[in-house]
Amino acid sequence: MDLLDAFDNAWLEFDRRVHRVGAEQWDEPTPCADWTVRDLVNHLTAEHLWAPWLLRGATLAEVGDRFEGDVLGDDPVAAWERAAAESHDAFHRPGALEGRVHTSGGPSPTTEYGWQMTTDLAVHAWDLARGIGDDDTLDEELAGELHERTAPLADSLQGSGLFAAPVSVPGTARAQDRLVGLLGREP
């Protein structure tokens, strides 16, 4: 699966769930420890506010703390829509995936950053679906591609503190269950 196709697919998975959050659901828990639905959407919105800056070559210091804290304001859906649209445009800009970006782990190829953002969108779409009681089914081809790309990184991901310990999932399970299990979620 091509990176931009995967990104677009995952982007739509998350976007669809954001638009299904009911007014009374923003404080509901999610599978992400200590994160409510609002916290989860805030996290993804902030990441997508960062993306255009990073893809233009900005350093972490240049971006600074402008996207820390609550970036959702009074209209979480509109805040997500603005950030998501700008991020989507930035990833699709000609040449955007040909360079390097500055990340907390140091300079990285933009393609690596793109796959990380794609994985985050897909897995958090699943988390968000669980938090609001929506259908958590992800595109099977997307889930398979992301699992295949993430599995070799499992040990380093666990050491990062970003994910809980993997959950044991049978090898015969569908791709999305293997993916979310690998990233510490109970399918």
In the block, residue with structure tokens 């991020």? 87
Residue 138's contacts (CB-CB under 8 Å, 6 or more residues apart) are 13, 122, 125, 126, 176, 179
pTM: 0.93
* Distance from chain centroid for Cα 183: 12
CA distance 117 to 7: 8
Q: Is the pLDDT of residue 136 over 90?
A: yes
CA distance 12 to 17: 9
Please name each of the domains of the chain with its CATH number.
3-182 (1.20.120.450)
pLDDT in tens, 75-119: 999 999 999 999 999 999 999 999 999 998 889 999 999 999 999
State the DSSP code for 152: G
pLDDT in tens, 142-167: 999 999 998 887 766 665 455 677 78
pLDDT in tens, 10-60: 999 999 999 999 999 999 999 988 899 999 999 999 999 999 999 999 999
Cβ distance 60 to 102 under 8 Å?
yes
Among 173, 183, 113, smallest CA distance to 140 is for: 173
